[in-house]
Amino acid sequence: MSDEGVLLTVAYDGGPYAGWAPQKNATTVAGVLLDAVRALRPGVRELRGVSRTDAGVHARGQRVAFDAPAGIPTRGWALGLTSHLPPTIAVRAAARVPAGYDPRGHTRGKRYIYTILHDLLRDPFLESHAWRVVAPLDLGRMQAAAASLLGTHDFRAYRSSGDERTDTVRTLRRVEVLPDLADRRLFRVVVEGDRFLYNMVRILTGTLVDVGAGRLDPEAPARALLSGERGALGQTAPPQGLTLDEVFLTDEGDDRWPP
């Protein structure tokens, strides 16, 4: 029986996991998902995910592909995997793609959303899904700083030291700080772009919070684009507020279920 490719859209709560990528002696999202895939097709060797999210980071639209012997319809993959996954990981859609399909080669952009909770006290319903900030935040200052990051720039200042890539030019199509009209304690930083550096969104968000709290001036994020100095920026936001919201692909496959 020949192999075919399967493309999944996967959502997960990253709190219980040591990140996406498989690791020895650690429970990861990819490891748990691969076990579920192998429960249906034991011969599957690997998963090809788009984003290697860190420990504690969440996803609504992670994209994952693998090759498996033909015979299970996309509806069967979506429903069958659900029965083998914990409540913290969910398959949201399945589609058919050519064998060997790697979603990383078809990615045209990603959207991340970072949730900030402005509250003096902890909220147990948001503890693992938002960064609680006590200091008052000036939304106007944050929005002005965010707007200065739009476009194509060298974002080398916006990466952690572990990122050694020499190509650090990225294009951000959207950088917004939006209040939640239903819960005025919440703010969301929405960042959409072609590619991202390691911890880029968390450094960007931490910097915007420092601007909003008055610890940095609103021009600091733009100046750092020119200087390339990480020290000119603010803190790195913690992982629990970050969600990989959507991955945009040039090829979504066929026979998607649910339609």
Which value, in Å, is the radius of gyration of the alpha carbons in the chain? 19
Q: Identify the bridge partners of residue 178 per DSSP, sorted by sequence position.
A: 188
Q: Whole-angstrom Cα distance, residue 251 to residue 114? A: 27
Give the single-character DSSP code of 84: T
Q: Whole-angstrom Cα distance, residue 119 to residue 183? A: 11
Q: What is residue 118's three-state secondary structure?
A: strand
216 Cα distance to chain centroid: 26
Q: Whole-angstrom Cα distance, residue 45 to residue 251? A: 23
Give the pair of three-digit tokens for residue 164.
Answer: 């050694």
Burial of residue 59 (CB within 10 Å: 0-12, 13-18, 19+) is: buried
CA atoms within 13 A on the CB side of 237: 31
Considering 13, 54, 210, 245, which one is annotated as catalytic? 54
Give the pair of three-digit tokens for residue 34.
Answer: 């691969």
Q: Whole-angstrom Cα distance, residue 148 to residue 53? A: 26
Look-up: residue for tokens 């959502």? Answer: 11
Active site residue 119: no
- DSSP secondary structure, 18-36, as one string: S-SS--TTS--HHHHHHHH
Active-site residues, by number, are 54
